[in-house]
Amino acid sequence: MEYKPGIETVLERYRAFWRKDVYDRPPIRIRFPVPGEGEEEWTRACQNPVSYYAYWDNIMSCRTALADDDVPTATLDLGPAFMAGVMGCDVRFGYGSSWSEHPLEDWSDLAKLREHPIDDRNPWIVRLKEMIAYFTEQGEGKLAVGLANMMGPGDIMAALRGPTQLCIDFYTYPEEVKQLAQICTDAWIKVAKLQFDLIEPLEGGYCDNYDIWTPGRSCYFADDISALLSPETYREHLFAFDCQVAASLDNPWMHVHSGGVRLAPELIKIPGLMGIQVVNDYPAGPSLQEIVPLLKMIQKDHCLLLRKYPMEELRHILPQLSPEGLYIDTQCASLEEAQEILGWWETQAIW
């Protein structure tokens, strides 16, 4: 692979990681500023396949200067509102992200939503296929094509109803919520399958919008709404649907924010779940030190992925975690600092 000459070693680290083992060290991704990468640049670039591929190609070519475990990927990521768009929501782009209007105002529209096309009649599916074709052609031999950010059933529901309204719905319209959850789950599985069928796998696995390689027809699904829910509410209204998503994947894993990691005792009960990614929300969420007991709980039987925590914080809690089944996605201010972090990481005796 042109943008990662050492890709075989990188993939061996991932294979060991997903087995809750260590190849030579745990995999680490270190993000540093790259010219041409940013919120405004992303917002402009993602509007068409040509400019979007050029955006990723520039970033991945710049990242060749660092031999971390980032898998060079041109991702189909259209922001967290991608599946909302697929489901018929009006989507806006800006500030390096996307968000949607909440069109499902009347439960009588559920029947119409159930028949919403997820095929070539859907402009978002057409857009997705166009990106896959162009990225595959342009990136051959240079990088992988990564799956879109599809969030999860609960987050798609929140996009359709609005997060505040959905939280009320859990109590006032439990049967309608169940129907909506099934519609969103079926849509998620269908869009994931479409991508697995069209994207060329990398050594028997697939990459995502975090440039993480997972073996088999696999990727993560998200549960951002978990930050708003009690364990009881999650268990009653969303657990079964997350189980369906997990069952549709060979090696599923989850993305949650630190404000939602308190649901870990429920999430680790999902059959077949391989791991949980915890994203730093501090100060809106708990500090890293505060959630160490939950991280250790996750690591007992699952892989743990930590994202957006600076290395100076990670160094304080790493001795409390196992290197087996550990993945770090951190950030710093420059390539030089990233090289220093990588050098430190590669010489740790605890591996």
| Range 338-350 average pLDDT | 90
Q: How far, in Å, CA of 307 to CA of 258, rounded?
A: 10
| Range 118-142 average pLDDT | 98
Give the residue from 253, 316, 313, 320 showing the smallest Cα distance to 280. Answer: 313
pLDDT reading at 350 higher than 80:
no
| Range 326-338 average pLDDT | 98
Domains defined along the chain, listed by start? 7-346 (3.20.20.210)
Q: Please, which residues have CB within 8 angstroms of residue 28's CB and are 6 or more apart in sequence?
A: 68, 69, 327, 328, 329, 330, 341, 342, 345
Q: How far, in Å, CA of 178 to CA of 318, rounded?
A: 40
Q: How far, in Å, CA of 294 to CA of 259, rounded?
A: 12
| Range 74-79 average pLDDT | 98
Q: Quick one: which H or E segment has residue 206?
A: strand 205-207
The whole-number pLDDT of residue 351 equals 65
| Range 89-102 average pLDDT | 97
Tell me if 128 sits within 8 A of 135, measured CB to CB. Answer: no
Give the residue from 279, 274, 205 showing the smallest Cα distance to 246. Answer: 274
Note the Cα 256 to chain centre separation in Å: 9
Query: How many CB atoms are located within 10 Å of the residue 196 CB?
Result: 18
Strands (E) in 296-345, as ranges, are 303-307, 326-331
Query: How many CB atoms are located within 10 Å of the residue 65 CB?
Result: 11
Give the residue from 185, 295, 198, 188 showing the smallest Cα distance to 238. Answer: 185
The whole-number pLDDT of residue 348 equals 86
Q: What percent of the chain has pLDDT over 70?
A: 99
Predicted confidence band of residue 92 (pLDDT cuts 50, 70, 90): very high
- Angle among Cα 191, 264, 311 to the nearest 5 degrees reads 90
